[in-house]
Amino acid sequence: MAAQRPQREVSAWRPRVSGVVEVFHARFTEYAYPMHVHDAWTLLIVDDGAVRYDLDRHEHGTPHDTVSLLPPHVPHNGAPATADGFRKRVVYLDASHLPDDLIGAAVDGPDLRDPLLRLRVGQLHTALAHPGEELEAGSRLALIGERLRAHLADRPAGEPLADPALARRLRELLDEHVVEGLTLDAAAALLHAHPAHLVRAFSRAYGIAPHQYLMSRRVGRARRLLLDGRAPGEVAALTGFYDQAHLTRHFGKLVGVPPGRYRAGVRTEPPRDGT
């Protein structure tokens, strides 16, 4: 039986999210990285298999339930730790999320067993994979950064703090920018608040994250335009969605049917049987 050919599959891009240098997804079966360094923080999760690596002359591993954070400027390598290789997702972050004074703590403990952090990093990758989800990606990254800093500083992660006035101001700001949208960094600058505190205050006050609120407002506008007889592609452009597929994904999630089917069911008057 012929041996399977080694697999080397990669996908890389730079999203429009502040502080993210690169997103890198890869599937390797036999490839081993030589010793090298990055000038950015490496936030890594492994979805299949495992990676064995050396960092600062100490051996580490990345089973699927951990989050690995490799600091900038510190040499490391990497190789499959299982016969089938590994599949990984990586976000490279600049110092705006993690300052250089945390490098020492990251060298001492790069592999973090934190189920909530692991979940949030996976959610971040999902958001980064879809253009138009920059507010969600920024919000998730703000909370991830906060949790990483808590790990490295060896202190509990922050609890949501009530700040209804700040939450109301953010809601008003989102209402003013439903179509054109707003990044989390821009909102934080306008409201003079830390991005993570902004997300937490809003979520505590309204029971919904800022990006969910914005998408709900956009879907509401889309419904009204579809009732007016506008085509889904036109509606997507008029309501701030990246494209029709972006509209369809959120519309189906919130309404239960895609916009085309919703439009097909539009009536000029209520049905006589009351259904």
Question: What does each C-alpha distance from 261 to 40, 111, 234, 245, 248 come to in angstroms?
Answer: 45, 47, 15, 14, 10
- 205: Cβ–Cβ under 8 A, 6 or more apart, which residues? 162, 163, 164, 167, 168
SS3 77: strand
Assess contact for 27 and 7: CB atoms under 8 A. yes
| First and final C-alpha spacing in the chain | 62
| 133-183 residue pLDDT tens | 999 999 999 999 999 999 998 766 555 567 999 999 999 999 999 999 999
What sign for the dihedral angle of Cα 168, 170, 173, 179?
A: negative
pLDDT at 1: 41
- 177: Cβ–Cβ under 8 A, 6 or more apart, which residues? none
Whether the full predicted model's pTM is greater than 0.85, yes or no, is yes
Q: Name the pLDDT band for 5 (thresholds 50, 70, 90).
A: low
Chain Cα centroid distance, residue 48: 20
Average pLDDT (66-88) is 90
Give the separation between CA 23 and CA 100, rounded to whole angstroms. Answer: 20
pLDDT at 85: 87
